Amino acid sequence: MTNPAEPLIKELIENNDVVLFMKGTKSMPQCGFSSRVAGVLNYMGIEFKDVNVLEDETIRQGIKDFSDWPTIPQLYVKGEFVGGCDIVTEMTLSGELDTLLEDKGISFNKEAADKIREANG
């Protein structure tokens, strides 16, 4: 069964350096996990495209099929699936997210990233 949302999902991932498929929007997340990931990205000053899966059921199911990942939010950086809330949180705290962003040439506020680690250390 082909996923009707796949062409749109591919286009979003290919045309935006950082994409967060989430419930709600970056300014108004509608679930705690989406809020946490969007909060980290916003706090670190990362420009990202937010895709509200609640607005489109085909995208909501389609992104799960596309990534073979059962939950929302889902973060993509330069076309690569990074993970959901737990993975992004772990990567932020370990510094892995900084490394990934640096490797992919994504600008972010290193000081803010350090502050997140300090607050959760």
Tell me the CA distances in angstroms from 44 to 54, 101, 107, 109, one per residue in order.
25, 11, 9, 5
Domains in the chain, number: 1
pLDDT at 41: 98
pLDDT band at 113 (very low <50, low <70, confident <90, very high): very high
pLDDT tens per residue, range 15-29: 999 999 999 999 999
Examine residue 1 and state whether it is found in any structural domain, yes or no: no
pLDDT at 3: 83
pLDDT at 1: 56
Q: Which CATH number belongs to the domain containing residue 100 in this structure?
A: 3.40.30.10
Tell me the whole-structure pTM to 2 decimals.
0.95
Domain membership of residue 69 as a residue range = 6-120
